[in-house]
Amino acid sequence: MMLDITLQVARFNPDLDTETRLQDYFLQTEEQRMVLDALLEIRDFQDGSLAFRHSCRSGICGSCAMMINGQPKLACQTKLAELAEDSLIRLEPLAGFRVLRDLVVDIDPFLESLKAIVPWLVLRPNHNGRMSPEALAEIEAMGICILCGACEVGETQAGTGLASLAKTYRFAFDPRDALGPERIKLAVDLGLLKWPPYEGFAAGCPKGIEFEKGLIPALRALTIQQE
């Protein structure tokens, strides 16, 4: 089925604009297509000046995260049909991030903030680097964080730290990692488990990581065990 949609897109050119303005684009498109497909069509056939990020088109790179009708989502994973009840679809840059141009935000401070939790594997000495399918299954649910930044859209500008917690869990339970449980202590020292950050993040992780019922209670329980 074909859909008639209006995409209302936030525009900001730092060389010309003092504030963001909204621009409407009209499109007839198939309902099974994604928001990113619509943006690409607009950029290719209507307005080559429209700026947005994308890469994988498969929900893997995280670069297409944006506010879609006020909720942080991945444009390449959000079907136009999901939004079809209202033919007007509003697209804005991820809230809480500095806007560089149109839908492109400065993701660097978010990535820099992750460094505090050492978000990489520190291979144990003499370990062959292999892990069993069972060990992988333990960490897989948290290992799917793609660093899209959607969970930074909390109530504060300070960021939620949810991605840091997902990475903490993912590496703390990796049998190959030399830091292991020390990572949970590090998260505690950084104050990541004190404040319940998920309270400002009701929209949900695009990759389905469960914070409120999964990740955070699990990490808190381990913290208590270690005391």
Nearest CA among 83, 84, 77 for reference residue 60: 77
- Report the residue number, 17 or 140, with the smaller CB distance to ligand SF4: 140
Alpha helices in the chain (DSSP H): 35-45, 108-114, 133-143, 162-172, 182-189, 216-226
Nearest CA among 171, 159, 143 for reference residue 200: 159
Nearest CA among 30, 143, 130 for reference residue 81: 30
The least CB distance from residue 60 to ligand FES, in Å, is: 6
Given the rule CB under 6 A, which of 57-65, 135-143, 160-168, 191-199 is the region that contacts ligand FES? Answer: 57-65
**121 part of the interface to ligand FES, by CB under 6 A:** no
**Interface with ligand FES (CB under 6 A), residue from 22, 56, 111, 221:** 56
Residue 147 interface partner, choices ligand FES, ligand SF4, none, CB cut-off 5-8 Å depending on type: ligand SF4
Report the interface residues with ligand SF4, using CB under 6 A: 145-151, 162-163, 166, 205-207, 209
**Interface with ligand FES (CB under 6 A), residue from 6, 31, 33, 61:** 61
For the four alpha carbons of 113, 145, 141 and 152, in that order, the dihedral sign comes to positive
Q: CB burial class (10 A; 0-12, 13-18, 19+) of residue 181?
A: middle
Residue 84 interface partner, choices ligand SF4, ligand FES, none, CB cut-off 5-8 Å depending on type: none
The least CB distance from residue 182 to ligand FES, in Å, is: 31
- Report the residue number, 5 or 35, with the smaller CB distance to ligand FES: 35
Residue 162 interface partner, choices ligand SF4, ligand FES, none, CB cut-off 5-8 Å depending on type: ligand SF4
Nearest CA among 111, 74, 28, 114 for reference residue 208: 74
Q: Strand 99-101 relative to strand 71-74: parallel, antiparallel, unpaired? A: unpaired
**Interface with ligand FES (CB under 6 A), residue from 9, 39, 63, 102:** 63
- Report the residue number, 91 or 206, with the smaller CB distance to ligand SF4: 206
**79 part of the interface to ligand FES, by CB under 6 A:** no
Largest CA distance in the chain: 60
Tokens of 112: 């820099």
Q: Rule CB under 6 A: which residues touch ligand FES?
A: 54-57, 59-64, 74, 76
